[in-house]
Every structure is written in C-alpha cells, then in structure tokens.
Amino acid sequence: MGFTLIISPIVTLLMTPYIGYVVDSFNHKKILVFSQLGTIVSLIIFGFLLIKFAKYYFVELIVLLVFLKIADSFLQNTLQSSVTQLVPKENFQQLNSMVQSSNSLATVVSPLVGAVLFSIIPFGYFAFFEVISEIVTLYLILLVKFGTQQSRGVSGRIGESFISGLQFMRKNSMILVVSLFIAGLNFFMAAMNVGLPYLQIHVLKLSTQQYGLTESSVAIGMVLGGIIFQLFKRQFSVPNAFSFMIMFAVILSSLGVPIFYNIGSSATTIFYCFANLVLGCLVIFINTPLIAYFQTEVPADYQGRVFSIQATITSLLIPIGTVIYGVLFDLISGTWIFLGSGITLALISLVAVIRILKSKTEEDVIAR
C-alpha cells in the first residue's frame, strides 16, 4: 500500500503530458486495445519472472506496478474521453454513475474472490489467472462500437500540447474550479482513510470484523448511490453537485462524535456503517455531474489533456492528504480534525456555489 501511494503519483505526474497528447491525437479504441495488451504482456512477464527468479520478487513487483499504472492511466483517460462516442449527451451522467458503481462493486467483491483464489492457486501462478480476466476485458473492448471521434488531433509537440491544455483550463475558470474540487474531495477523503481506522480500532476498540463492516459500507454506499442515481430522470447540475458536497461535509464533521459518547461497540458500528453508506452514496452524486460537465463542456480536442491534468492533481493530493492527516491524528483529537475538515469543506463548497451561480447570472445577462 505504501509503495502504491508513492509510485502512483510519480508515474501519473511523469506521464501526464504524454497521456493527454496520445488520447487527443489517436483513435480511442486503438489506445484502449494497446493499453490492455500492455497490461496482459506485463502480467505474463511478471508471472514467468516470479516463478524463475522468486528472490527478486520485490523489484519485479515494483516494475509491474509501474507498467500497470501506465497502462491503467491510458485506459481510464481514454474511457472518460470516449463517452461522447458511446452514448448521447443526455445519458452522460447515467453512464458515469454506472461506471463508478461497477468500480465500487468490484472493490467489495474482488477481495473475497482474491482470498478464495489465493487459497487454491500458488502465488507464482496468480498473475496468469489475472491474465485471463484481462483477455476477457480486451475481448469486450473489441466488441464495443465507437462513434465518430470528434477530436481532430493535436498540432505541435508534446510539451506544447500540454501547455495549451494548461492554458485552456486557466482561461476556463469554471473547468479549473470543478477540476480542483474533484481533487479536493479526494484530499478530504484522506481524513476518512487515515482517521477512521485509527479511531475505530485504537480509540473506540472496535473488532477487526466490525471495522471491516464499516469500511465496506463506503463501497456499498457507492453501489447504492449509482442505483439511486439511475432512478432519477433529471440531469444534475454543477451547483447541485456542490450542494451534495456540503451534505458530505456535514456528515464528515460528525465522524468524531462517538469519541464523546460511550454508546457501545454495536451502536458505534451501526453509526459508522450508516455514515459511510451515506458518504459513499454522496460521492456518486458529487462526482457524476462534475465528470459529465467535463465531457459536455470541454472540446473533444482537449478532453485527454484536461482529464490527464485533473487526474494528476488528484493523484498528488491523495498522498499529501494522507501524510498531513497522519500527522494531525497523532497530535490532535480526531473529533476536532473531522469537525474542522467538514467545516472547511462546507465553506469552500458554499463559496463555490455562490460564485458559480453569480457567474451563470452574468452570462445570462450578457446573452440577453
């Protein structure tokens, strides 16, 4: 986990100019196919090396993580930038919510499947089983029919195209604000990722089973959030997303409350399960309209670079948030950390909503 936190932002930062350039310049389906082939080849080589040279396992694993991160970055960026080729504009939000829910469902199911397979398959051959699932994914990609790609390609060198992407975001303040808030949400999520395990296990003395139940509630909440989102026939706007962010902040600020009240481990477990369930659900209602906004408002020629830059900001803020909150929870009571984080996030969201609504009003006046 520690090495993943280090490797992921470094690889993402170094690859950002290249990923955006490639996605905005080349056929999306071909990028997806080559990314998936890169994953498959990396796993096959890792499997053979692990069997043949087991003593170098650590080095082999680091190299594998690097190649998998590169392939995954191309894959995720291309998928986000391909939505305009897959579904009509009015279905962007529904598709995005389904994707996020599917990822969350995989988060819940994959550890269980992995534990079963690990008990019956030698670790050296584990990579080959993963290869099978990746081949199935490749086959599904080949079956998908992409519409006409609107991107006309990127002129100039890679560095120039990256700078033009930054300039585009700087000139479009709304896109920059939304991008920073998506990254900021992940920063404040670090308070949960760092603080909840510490509070529940070391302070509130919950059992590992109780903690596991509360931990899985976030992913389950995201799955439920995706299902609930599909039931709405309306399109949620960016101000709606920030309103959900304020609700997220209110619940975040309350996560330290059980420290002050001795309500017993069962009641504490129920409290955190419910809170995490709602937080997971809200994440879907926050991210989905914001991602759809990018896909709607950012021109196809810039989507690869914009999504790449946004992913880099997020990737850098996650480990930074982990370190900062790790230090804070060693020095300050968790109650005040959660309260302060929630209030800060709520105030920032409120200011953003006011600014967005004011900007929209000014645009309407100009349009008249």
Q: What is the mean pLDDT of residues 43-56?
A: 86
Looking up tokens 């680091």, which residue turns up? 62
Q: For the chain, how far is it from start to end, CA to CA, in angstroms?
A: 54
CA 365 – CA 368 distance, rounded (Å): 5
151 contacts 60 by C-beta, under 8 angstroms: no
Alpha helices by DSSP H, 204-264: 208-231, 238-253
Q: Give pLDDT tens digits for 255-313.
A: 988 888 878 888 999 999 999 999 999 999 998 888 888 888 888 888 999 999 988 88
Per-residue pLDDT tens digits for 319-342: 888 889 989 988 988 889 999 999
pLDDT per position as a tens digit, 92-136: 888 888 888 888 777 777 777 777 777 777 766 777 788 888 999
Cα four-point dihedral sign 91, 95, 98, 100: negative
Provide the pLDDT confidence category of residue 253 given band limits of 50, 70 and 90: very high
pTM of the model: 0.84
Tally of CA atoms within 13 A in the half-sphere of 14 that contains its CB: 10
Helix intervals (H) in the chain: 2-25, 28-52, 57-81, 83-86, 92-120, 126-143, 158-171, 173-197, 208-231, 238-253, 265-297, 300-331, 334-367
Q: What's the rounded Cα separation, in Å, for the pair 353 and 182?
A: 14
Portion of the chain with pLDDT greater than 70, in percent: 93
